[in-house]
Structure 1
């Protein structure tokens, strides 16, 4: 069985999950800083925002997960803070992070849409890296499959299964490359377009992949929370993107995300 622990030294235990999440944050921050520097923004101000956003995002991701798994955590309250065991919901982290970005982007004058665009590639790359924490924790996997029909199936929890964490990691990497290429077409983009494309593509992929998972957070016992949220995100983002470009007026007047 795969060991989720890298090493232990006395009371200190270092886990792959935590290391990969930390690596995702560091790499994502450095990637965003390159774009910040290119745009001529204050790197110090941007880092101030990131240093608040990261812990708030983790808190939001955890609270979201706990809220939709409350029956378990109500019976095991000591597990609420045990994020090293897994249990971070990306939608909760995104919501909390966006609120922080909204505040600081206005405070520092970066512009809300512009700031989200700067961070979109970093976020999806971080997700691609962080999903491998699920692999080492042996979680977020899919249904049992026949390895003769699904040769890439992984042996997890006593059976061959869809490696849904791998599916999402690869999908996130494709989105990352797409966003970097799309960012070059700056004359065709409005502030906030990159984050909208991210929301559409990530949410569409998550909607499909979630259908293979066995550990989905459930709403009313019948609906997969991630699929409901993803479908809403796709529809809202498409409508907003269409509306903004339909109303893109000549002479530089645009309906951008402020």
Structure 2
């Protein structure tokens, strides 16, 4: 068993604090950007990808923040609307970030007359890198922790209480980050899965399955608790993403067969 007493501040210089959470976003975006360009080096959209990343970053920030506001704490932000802009207080939704990326991609691709899924497929492959770093930062911050456990890898988050808990942040980092990245890299090499849009659908499917399952071990958001059929908000949104992924997968496979 392990005791988590990490300081969420990575670097402190006088009154300036640089937090691990911020560094995780930077690391995820930079490494994802680097790998995405390697994957796209023979593609027509390679020359426009740097401009596209600006849209993606805006989509992540706006989508992640407004997703959290709408999905997880709407009543609070209705009463305190200016707190929406206090990003340093935390509160980002991964599902909202995905929606933000999709909207940003649609706008950018339409503007440049490109295939939307040529962008989304490469983002799907590198997104698990960002998830991996983000969940490690959640672990350092002692947030998104799990239920009590007596398993040997239980973690005591001393900023929370004296209980040993499932380190659900690390579960997510491993499955939604590392494992999902390997799955998509493998699928990328399969000839029958190379049509634009298929990798995006597989990302939605596998991410949703991993997230839905791990949510059973995770303490739900305090302000929401359990909802319909004792599901968490994360599970409910994951079901919608899973259905969207399945529909997209079959539509792209059928289109591939017809062509």
Q: TM (normalized to structure 2)?
A: 0.87
1:241 maps to 249
2:189 maps to 184
1:134 CA drift (Å): 0.3
The answer to whether structure 1 residue 206 and structure 2 residue 211 are counterparts is yes
Residues 245/117 of structure 1: CA separation in 2 closer, same or farther (3 Å cut):
same
1:197 maps to 202
Cα RMSD, aligned residues only: 2.2
Given candidates 226, 233, 253, the residue that maps to 1:225 is 233
1:75 CA drift (Å): 5.8
Question: Which shows bigger deviation, 50-59 or 103-112?
Answer: 103-112
Give 5+ residue unaligned stretches, structure 2: none
Q: Give yes or no for contact 1:124–1:176 (8 Å, CA) kept in 2.
A: yes
Residues 239/78 of structure 1: CA separation in 2 closer, same or farther (3 Å cut):
closer
1:121 CA drift (Å): 1.2
Given candidates 133, 139, 145, the residue that maps to 1:141 is 145
Query: When the two structures are aligned, how many residues end up with a matched partner?
Result: 247
Whose relative contact order is higher, 1 or 2, with alpha carbons under 8 Å and at least 6 apart? 2
Question: Which shows bigger deviation, 239-248 or 12-21?
Answer: 239-248
1:130 CA drift (Å): 1.1
Q: TM (normalized to structure 1)?
A: 0.87
Give 3-state SS (helix, strand or coil) of 1:47's partner. helix
Distance 1:153 1:79 in 2: 34
2:35 maps to 31
Give 3-state SS (helix, strand or coil) of 2:7's partner. coil
2:179 maps to 174
Give 5+ residue unaligned stretches, structure 1: 254-258
Residues 49/188 of structure 1: CA separation in 2 closer, same or farther (3 Å cut):
closer
